[in-house]
């Protein structure tokens, strides 16, 4: 096999790329501003490669990705023409994923990096007689912000996370800002989303704030208003979808330590969206999370909160069906 020049042009879905002595490390924040995202870069989740992929056009029948030793067991996917063709599951310490037996002829490939760990990519190889070039992604850009339910650690593989499924089905260039346990509407997240290019933005907030009791009913609405208005500083006409929590079993009736339940959060989120729409925001939309995954879907939750692999597949399929009217607007504007 031969080595392709390792440059930024292969990488998609990352916010920034850190060039290290041994390779390139994707980040989901500007890595040079790490200290501004406490604690430890959004709880250590900003370095995780959820939604990050390598894109190439090649006639090679095998493609290898090499990387620094994996910190934990993880999977990589090879997707061609929107279809998953191979998943490689690797143990901690592995340094190479080889996708072999690929179809002959020119094809467009996406190699999806793990959604559960960070990774430093050290090389990209194809068959010695083949050609391979970076593949630009010209689809409308979609940023989605959320919790572990958006990061999707329990998805069967990286490209089977619900944002990846929805992006493929709806035709979007995805940036996944799902931070497991760390979706708390921090002001720096609003600034980050504001400053990234986007044709469509979605945020799903509430469940981490409920679980960690980080915001009281007194502060929840003001922080959500601030987040949305910060995003609107630069994305004034970008379709912006706000999703309330999916079904949360005991969290539907059990007060957290600050006096919140998930139904109270859903009401507050809808109130904020309606307030801003009344003030002239024509491209702001609300989605009740119970219409996405409700009590009738409780069997898809593995622990009363997180979907399992089948649940994430369901969320991905339903997302496009629920929001076709928004996507039509996105296509017109982009």
Alpha helical stretches, state H, the chain: 40-43, 148-151, 162-170, 187-195, 207-212, 217-232, 262-278, 309-322, 324-333
pLDDT, mean of residues 304-318: 97
Integer Cα distance of 42 and 88 in angstroms: 28
Question: Do 94 and 124 fall into the same domain?
Answer: yes
Does 95 lie in the same domain as 7? yes
Question: For residue range 72-103, what is the model confidence (pLDDT) as tens digits?
Answer: 999 999 999 889 999 999 999 999 999 999 99
Tokens of 173: 């260039």
Residues 127 and 165 in one domain: no
CATH code for the domain in which residue 119 is found: 2.60.120.260
Residues 146 and 129 reside in one and the same domain: no
The verdict on 130 and 146 lying in the same domain is no
Closest CA to 113 of 53, 72, 165: 53
> Do 153 and 35 belong together in one domain?
no
Q: Give the mean pLDDT of the chain.
A: 97
pLDDT in tens, 141-171: 999 999 999 999 999 999 999 999 999 999 9
73 within 8 A of 101, measured Cβ to Cβ? no
pLDDT confidence tier of residue 110, bands split at 50, 70 and 90: very high
Q: Would you state the pLDDT for residue 284?
A: 97
* Same domain, yes or no: 318 and 207: yes
Mean pLDDT of 286-299: 97
Instruction: Count the domains in the chain.
Output: 2
Residues 206 and 277 in one domain: yes
Separation CA 261–CA 220 (nearest Å)? 12
CA 237 to chain centre: 22
Among 134, 160, 185, which residue terminates a domain?
A: 134
Token readout for 8 is 């930024």
Q: Do 121 and 216 belong to one domain?
A: no
Q: CB under 8 Å to 225, separation ≥6 — which residues? A: 272, 275, 276
pLDDT at 91: 98
Neighbours of 216 (CB within 10 A): 13
Read off the pLDDT of each residue in 228-244 and give the average, rounded to a whole number: 98
Number of neighbours of residue 38 by Cβ within 10 angstroms: 11
Q: Note whether 29 and 15 are within 8 A (CB).
A: yes
- Strands 74-80 and 173-178 turn out to be unpaired
Is the pLDDT at 331 greater than 90, yes or no? no
Percent above pLDDT 70 for the chain: 98
Domain limit, last residue, from 103, 134, 165: 134
Angle separating helix axes 309-322 and 162-170, nearest 10 degrees: 40
Q: How many helices (H) and strands (E) does the chain have?
A: 9, 17
Q: Give the span between the Cα atoms of 277 and 136, in whole angstroms.
A: 35
Give the CA diameter of the chain: 64
Give the domain range for residue 209: 141-333
pLDDT at 329: 73
- DSSP letter at 290 equals G
C-alpha span between 95 and 81 (Å, rounded): 27
What is the percentage of the chain residues whose pLDDT exceeds 90?
95
What pLDDT does residue 324 have?
A: 75
Tokens of 126: 């194809």
Same domain, 105 and 180: no
**What's the Cα-to-Cα distance from 68 to each of 24, 26, 113, 148, rounded to whole Å?**
10, 13, 13, 25
Q: 10 Å Cβ neighbour count for 61?
A: 16
Residue ending a domain, choose from 113, 134, 155: 134
pLDDT value at position 334?
Answer: 66
């Amino acid at each position: 096999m031969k080595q392709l020049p390792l440059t930024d042009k292969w990488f998609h879905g990352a916010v920034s790329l850190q060039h290290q002595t041994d390779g390139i490390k994707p980040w989901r924040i500007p890595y040079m501003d790490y200290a501004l995202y406490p604690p430890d870069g959004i709880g250590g989740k900003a370095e995780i490669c959820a939604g990050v992929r390598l894109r190439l056009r090649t006639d090679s029948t095998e493609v290898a990705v090499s990387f620094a030793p994996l910190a934990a067991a993880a999977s990589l996917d090879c997707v061609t023409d929107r279809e998953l063709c191979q998943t490689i599951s690797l143990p901690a310490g592995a340094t190479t994923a080889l996708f072999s037996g690929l179809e002959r002829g020119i094809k467009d490939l996406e190699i999806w990096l793990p959604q559960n760990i960070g990774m430093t990519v050290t090389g990209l190889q194809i068959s010695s007689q083949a050609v391979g070039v970076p593949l630009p992604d010209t689809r409308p850009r979609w940023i989605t912000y959320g919790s572990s339910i958006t990061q999707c650690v329990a998805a069967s593989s990286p490209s089977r996370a619900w944002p990846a499924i929805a992006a493929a089905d709806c035709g979007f260039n995805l940036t996944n800002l799902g931070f497991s346990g760390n979706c708390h509407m921090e002001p720096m997240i609003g600034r980050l989303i504001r400053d990234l290019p986007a044709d469509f933005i979605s945020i799903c907030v509430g469940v981490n704030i409920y679980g960690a009791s980080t915001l009281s009913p007194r502060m929840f609405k003001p922080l959500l208003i601030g987040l949305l208005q910060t995003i609107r500083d630069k994305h004034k006409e970008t379709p912006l979808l706000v999703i309330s929590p999916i079904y949360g079993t005991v969290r539907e009736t059990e007060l957290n330590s600050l006096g919140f339940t998930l139904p109270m959060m859903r009401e507050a989120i809808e109130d904020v969206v309606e307030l801003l729409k009344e003030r002239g925001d024509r491209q702001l939309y609300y989605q009740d999370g119970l219409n996405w995954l409700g009590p009738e879907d409780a069997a898809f939750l593995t622990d009363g909160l997180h979907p399992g692999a089948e649940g994430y597949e369901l969320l991905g399929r339903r997302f496009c069906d629920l929001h076709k009217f928004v996507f039509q607007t996105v296509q017109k504007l982009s």
